[in-house]
Structure 1
Amino acid sequence: MTEPPADSPLVDTHFHLYTRDMPIQAWAWHHPPEDATAEQFIATMDTHGVGFGVVAAASLYGQYNDYVIRCLRRNPRLRGTAYLRPDTDMYTMERLKADGIVGIRLFFRRVPDPPDLDAAEYRVLLRRVRDLDWHVHTLASGDALAGVIAAIEGAGVKLVIDHFGKPDDALGVNCPGFRALLAAVERGRTWVKMSGGFRMATPDHARAYARALLEVSGGERLMWGSDWPFAAFEDKVTYARTIADFHDWVPDAAQRRLIGGDTPMRLYFGA
């Protein structure tokens, strides 16, 4: 692998932190082969010139947010999302915000009990998210994404979707969920992470999704994430490659500064 580009992103908006001795879900789709600690990640950021990071709550560990929260308390360069029960009270959420949590993650893929956003307890949770000026961070299968977007928008909550919305690669940019994602970006309350390109069927698929997003947004409301430590691809992907992919997807330097720095600093760090 060649050296990473000189102008690395300022903010990595999607990575995971965990240790193998944490309680893992019985239905976990992946069992990490080694720890992914905050110290390891910060060293990786420093090596590649990345200044700040946003931890994505990992479905593998369910509501065990403890390790991530302690990492946020020790590292002001980090923010994160948490996976919360829908009946989590206001006082707990306010404390989490003080600790560096900036949103909740809702899982609709690879989980046995996806949220029912029409249920009363989720309507209350979304209102609390709105009151805290947090966002919902999620990923849903292509055919379900439009409904998730509609429910979150209807609650008046900011929405962040990772991995380009993970379209059905057989349909590509014509996947109904991806078309709904593009329309949501244009409406101005949805952000999309350009991340997980290595999870797409081919590099050309990721390039096509990036091109479509750039066409509708001009780079606004887009962000970049590495997806470190590359769950299920640990021995196939490097951090340098994910930065190189970002440069491939976004050849314009001004747009890269917006996507890799200005937008995530405003959304996550209030800068």
Structure 2
Amino acid sequence: MPEAAPAAVTAIDSHAHVFVRGLPLAPQRRHAPDYDATPADFSALLDAHGVSHALLVQPSFLGTDNRFLLDAIRARPRRLRGVAVVDPEADDLALQALADGGICGIRLNLVGLPIPDFSRPAWQRLFARVRALDWHVELHRDSQALAQAGQPVLDAGCKLVVDHFGRPGALADAGQAWLLAAAAGGRTWVKLSAAYRNWPVPSAPQARAAAERLLRAFGAGRLLWGSDWPHTEHREWVDYTAAQAALADWVPDAAARQRILVDTPARLFKFDQEGDLHAR
């Protein structure tokens, strides 16, 4: 029986992953965890930390096999939404099935990979379908190539969500300049998440400065917070409690945090304020 929905949206974790050992792995991957991060474990963490809803992101090492992600959402359909990884040749029926299963976006995890030729017809068809489904495109890429990877998504008319502060190499690099300028277009969001993927420990001063710059450019209406649970390859540095507490350090204003935690992701990921997903 599916898990009961929380009574209301109190906070939305906009970036987390679930997986178990033994799942089929993508042929091209940077790593493969030797532990489980189960949907039940994640749900218990949400309960313990007062987080009512969450967006699950397909892990890179599982490639385009989104079955485990969909099963996790199916068990908790009123609490969870998902971002899938898809082949650019995916047809309309496959994409509609993902939408029916609670998917609200696709992820381009391009860290360490060449930027695809997004002008190809297959990519343009995919972006058109993303627009038709009212999905977003989530981009994970080091900031030096953010413009190269992100501008074609915006040019195709899609909503763009940039992972992990935009993965800056330095606060004033060209990629961050492009990201800050992209705020003016109104179709770009940024996740305040996984500071440990950007800066060496201790990372608080750098992350706080980056959050301040993003808040000035985007406003709380287009910023999101994510735990990045289970913090793959960085589990020794952070846990869910620390990830949640970091947002108060990055964004001291309570009203701004409310928008980042509730209002902005509820609209973008189509959670309603009673805690349900929009009816399918």
What secondary structure does 1:20 align onto? coil
Which residue is 1:173 aligned to? Answer: 171
The question of whether the paired residues in 1 share the 8 Å contact of 2:18 and 2:56 is answered with yes
- The Cα offsets for residues 240-262 of structure 1, whole Å up to 9 and x where unpaired, read as 00111100000000000000110
What secondary structure does 1:49 align onto? coil
**1:270–1:44 CA distance, 2 compared to 1 (3 A):** closer
Which residue is 1:99 aligned to? Answer: 101
What secondary structure does 1:125 align onto? helix
**Distance between the aligned counterparts of 1:31 and 1:148, measured in 2?**
25
Which residue is 1:199 aligned to? Answer: 197
- Which of 78, 81, 86 aligns to 2:80? It is 78
The question of whether the paired residues in 1 share the 8 Å contact of 2:180 and 2:214 is answered with yes
What secondary structure does 2:105 align onto? strand
RMSD: 1.5
- The Cα offsets for residues 26-45 of structure 1, whole Å up to 9 and x where unpaired, read as 44222213111111100000
**Distance between the aligned counterparts of 2:163 and 2:10, measured in 1?**
17
The question of whether the paired residues in 1 share the 8 Å contact of 2:26 and 2:63 is answered with yes
Which residue is 1:219 aligned to? Answer: 220
How far off its partner does 1:9 sit?
6.5
**1:160–1:103 CA distance, 2 compared to 1 (3 A):** same
**Distance between the aligned counterparts of 1:149 and 1:114, measured in 2?**
10
**1:124–1:93 CA distance, 2 compared to 1 (3 A):** same
**1:26–1:92 CA distance, 2 compared to 1 (3 A):** closer
Query: Is 1:258 equivalent to 2:259 in the alignment?
Result: yes
Which residue is 2:3 aligned to? Answer: none
The question of whether the paired residues in 2 share the 8 Å contact of 1:197 and 1:245 is answered with no
Q: Which amino acid aligns with 1:109?
A: V
The percentage of aligned residue pairs carrying the same residue is: 40
- The Cα offsets for residues 215-250 of structure 1, whole Å up to 9 and x where unpaired, read as 112312000000000000123211000111100000
**Distance between the aligned counterparts of 1:88 and 1:145, measured in 2?**
24
Query: Is 1:25 equivalent to 2:5 in the alignment?
Result: no
**Distance between the aligned counterparts of 2:198 and 2:243, measured in 1?**
13
After the TM superposition, which residues 47-66 of structure 1 pair with which residues of structure 2 at under 5 Å, given as runs? 47-66=48-67
What secondary structure does 2:189 align onto? strand
Q: Which runs of 5+ in 2 are unaligned?
A: 1-8, 273-280
User: TM-score, normalising length from structure 1?
Assistant: 0.92
How far off its partner does 1:98 sit?
1.0
Which residue is 1:109 aligned to? Answer: 111
Q: Which runs of 5+ in 1 are unaligned?
A: 1-7
Q: Which amino acid aligns with 1:105?
A: R
The question of whether the paired residues in 1 share the 8 Å contact of 2:115 and 2:149 is answered with no
Which residue is 1:5 aligned to? Answer: none
Question: Which is worse superposed, 243-252 or 27-36?
Answer: 27-36
How far off its partner does 1:203 sit?
2.2
Question: How many residue pairs were aligned?
Answer: 260
Which residue is 1:4 aligned to? Answer: none
Q: Which amino acid aligns with 1:180?
A: W
What secondary structure does 1:229 align onto? coil
What secondary structure does 1:144 align onto? helix
Which residue is 1:186 aligned to? Answer: 184
Which residue is 2:250 aligned to? Answer: 249
How far off its partner does 1:114 sit?
4.4
How far off its partner does 1:181 sit?
1.0
Which residue is 2:131 aligned to? Answer: 130
After the TM superposition, which residues 134-153 of structure 1 pair with which residues of structure 2 at under 5 Å, given as runs? 134-153=135-154
**Distance between the aligned counterparts of 1:140 and 1:120, measured in 2?**
23
**1:240–1:232 CA distance, 2 compared to 1 (3 A):** same
Question: Which is worse superposed, 136-145 or 189-198?
Answer: 136-145
**1:98–1:117 CA distance, 2 compared to 1 (3 A):** same
Runs of 4+ with deviation above 6 angstroms = none
The question of whether the paired residues in 1 share the 8 Å contact of 2:19 and 2:37 is answered with yes
**Distance between the aligned counterparts of 2:158 and 2:219, measured in 1?**
23
**1:9–1:232 CA distance, 2 compared to 1 (3 A):** farther
What secondary structure does 1:223 align onto? strand
The question of whether the paired residues in 1 share the 8 Å contact of 2:139 and 2:150 is answered with no
